[in-house]
Chains A and B, each alone.
Chain A
Amino acid sequence: MADSAMELNNNVGERQLSVLHKRRYGLSFYGWMVIPAVILLLAITLYPFFWMIVMSLFKVAVRPGAKNEFVWLSNYLQLFKDHTWIKGWWIQAKYVGISLTIEFLLGFVIAMFLNNLKRGANILTTIFLFPMMVAPVAVGFLYTYLYNASFGWYYWILRTLGILKGATILGDANWALAGIIMADVWNWTPFMTLVLLAGLKKVPLDQLEAAKCDGAKPFRRFIDVVLPNMVPIIVIGVLIRFMDIMRYIDKIFVMTTGGPAGATKTQAYYLFQIAFSYFELGRGAASGFVLLLITIFMAMLFVNIMKKKGVQR
Chain B
Amino acid sequence: MAAESIVQEKKPIVMVVTVIVLIIFFLWSITPLFIMLMSSIKTERAAFSIPEVGDIRGAFGFFKFTPTLEHYKELLINEGFLTYVWHGIVAAISSAIISVGLGTLGAFGLSRGRFKQEDNISFWIISTRMAPAVVVIVPLYYIFRKIGMLQSIPGLILAYTTFNLPFALWLIKGFFDDLPVEIEEAAFVDGDTHWKVFGKIALPLAKPGIVAAFVLCVLLSWNDFLFAAIIGGAPAKTVPVGITELQTTSYIKWGPINAATIILVVPMIFLGILIRKYLVQGLTMGAVRE
User: B62 contacts which chain A residues (CB < 8 A)?
Assistant: 153
Tell me, yes or no, whether B208 is within 8 Å of chain A by CB: no
Point out the residues of chain A lying under 8 angstroms from B105, CB to CB.
Answer: 33-34, 36-37
Query: Which residues of B lie under 8 Å from residue A31 when comparing CB positions?
Result: 109, 113, 115
CB contacts (< 8 Å) of A105 on chain B: these are none
Complex Cα–Cα for A113 and B17 (A): 9
Is B50 interfacial (CB-CB < 8 Å)?
yes
Most buried by B among A1, A133, A237: A133
Interface flag for B201 (CB, 8 Å): no
How would residues 222 to 248 of chain A score, 1 for a CB under 8 Å from any chain B CB and 0 otherwise? 000000000001001100100100111
Q: Given B113, B135, B269, which contacts A288 in the complex, CB threshold below 8 Å? A: B135
What chain A residues lie within 8 Å of B224 (beta carbons)?
Answer: 135
B232 CB within 8 Å of chain A: no
Q: How large is the interface on B (under 10, 10 to 19, 20 to 34, 35 or more residues)?
A: 35 or more
Residue of A nearest to B130 (CB): A243
- Whole-angstrom distance from the CB of A180 to the nearest CB of chain B? 14
Known contacts A199-B288, A292-B132, A186 near B113 by CB under 8 Å: no
Tell me if A186 and B283 are in contact (CB < 8 A). Answer: no
Residues of B within 8 A of A102 (CB): none
B133: chain A residues at CB < 8 Å are: 247-248
CB distance from B269 to the nearest CB of A (A): 5
Interchain CA distance A20-B28 in the complex, whole Å: 54
In the complex, the answer to whether A5 meets B226 with C-beta atoms within 8 Å is no
Of the stretches A7-15, A78-86, A170-178, A305-313, the one at the interface is: A7-15
Of A6, A51, A130, A249, which one neighbours B30 at CB under 8 angstroms? A130
From DSSP, what is the main secondary structure of chain A's interface residues?
helix
Contact code string B153-168 (vs A, CB < 8 Å = 1, else 0): 0000010011001100
Q: How far is the CA of A129 from the CA of B240 in the complex (A)?
A: 20
- Decide: A129 and B50 in contact? CB cutoff 8 A: no
* B146 / chain A contacts, CB cutoff of 8 Å: 64
What total of A-B pairs shows CB separation below 8 Å?
320
Cβ of B97 under 8 Å from chain A:
no
Q: Does B194 lie at the interface of the complex (its beta carbon under 8 Å from any beta carbon of A)? A: yes
Residue in A33, A45, A291 whose CB lies within 8 Å of B108: A33
Contacts of A10 in B (CB 8 A): 177
A289-B222 Cα distance, complex, nearest whole Å: 27
Answer whether residue B190 sits at the interface, using C-beta atoms and an 8 A cutoff. Answer: no
Question: Which of the residues A55, A135, A151 comes within 8 Å of B48, measured between beta carbons?
Answer: A151
List 18 A-B residue pairs with CB atoms under 8 Å apart, sorted by A's residue number. Answer: A6-B122, A8-B287, A12-B111, A34-B109, A34-B115, A38-B106, A41-B124, A64-B146, A137-B264, A141-B243, A146-B35, A160-B54, A195-B280, A208-B7, A246-B132, A275-B134, A281-B141, A295-B130
